[in-house]
Amino acid sequence: MTSKFTADIAEIVVRDLGALAQEVEDTPLKDLWEVPEGVKNSVGTLALHLCGNLRHFIGHGLGEDDYKRDRQAEFGRHDASKEEILQEIERTQATTLAALADLSEEDVQKDMPITPPQHEGRSVGFFLVQLCCHLSWHRGQLNYLRRMLNEGARG
């Protein structure tokens, strides 16, 4: 049975993945893989990274998604179409929501089964909050980058 906590996390993830999809939609195709000076990642790269992160840690780590993460490809791939990225966002939402729906209050208290070394020994609950923060942080970067590229097109 889903806990109130995981229902809240699911609401945040749905909200932010919806906003991520809108950012990708609002990015002109010519800007999808653009990396201006002083910026490390493109809109497309950030979108793929966010999906890979959530699918790996929530869909695979907490759920039954057989997703195999290729973190290097998240940052090295520059050929996905806007439609492919939007489909990946949809898959991410579906696998994340499925995994969260199966978590009980007791599950949230357990140690997160897969983590980066700096979060080893943290609870599932802590790590879910961390993942929401990570999603929001990069989504903000992506929003700023998209607006910056749009301003550059007008300037």
**Domain boundaries, given as residue ranges, for the chain:** 4-154
pLDDT grade, residue 88 (50/70/90)? very high
> What span, in angstroms and rounded, lies between the C-alpha atoms of 131 and 50?
9
Strands (E) located in 7-155: none
Identity of the amino acid at 2: T
59-75 residue pLDDT tens: 999 998 999 998 888 89
pTM: 0.93
The pLDDT value given to residue 154 = 53
Give me the CATH topology for the region 4-154: Four Helix Bundle (Hemerythrin (Met), subunit A) (1.20.120)
